[in-house]
Amino acid sequence: MTIVKIVGIGFLTLILSLVLKEYKKEYAIYCALIGGMIILAASFGTIKEIVNFLNKISEGTSYNSEFIGLLLKITGIAILVEYATSICKDSGETAIASKIDFAGKIIIISMSIPIISLTLTTLLELLP
């Protein structure tokens, strides 16, 4: 039922933001930020379950658990970048949003290099 709460908070935030835009436009962005933070906080329980599941999987395999942590960091960066770009776009700052998006992609690519390297090494070992 978490999704029902999240959707409810989202609609409530949307309505408040639309009302605030009519009277005090500068407060509408704060409403969107607070609503987004509440939605993110409501998602932490599910995120914790996913992390615990991935930790159990990494314990049962010979795959390096360091890479599981790296994948979680990359996923976190992607979520934060998406959140930041959405807020910037909602504020009408599409130029800043595109810069944040670009920087996030560069960081994700740079963090992915060890995983790509390990995958290529493993593939080359498997080939005759």
Q: What is the pLDDT of residue 77?
A: 93
Q: What is the pLDDT of residue 26?
A: 81
One-letter identity of residue 92 = G
Q: What is the pLDDT of residue 61?
A: 66
Q: Residues 76, 49: contact at Cβ < 8 Å?
A: no
Q: Where are the domains of the chain?
A: 1-45, 63-128
Q: What is the pLDDT of residue 58?
A: 72
User: For 5, how many CA atoms within 13 A lie in the half-sphere containing its CB?
Assistant: 9
Rounded Cα–Cα distance for residues 101 and 83 (Å): 10
Q: What is the pLDDT of residue 49?
A: 87
Q: What is the pLDDT of residue 103?
A: 95
Rounded Cα–Cα distance for residues 68 and 65 (Å): 5
Residues with pLDDT less than 50, the chain = none
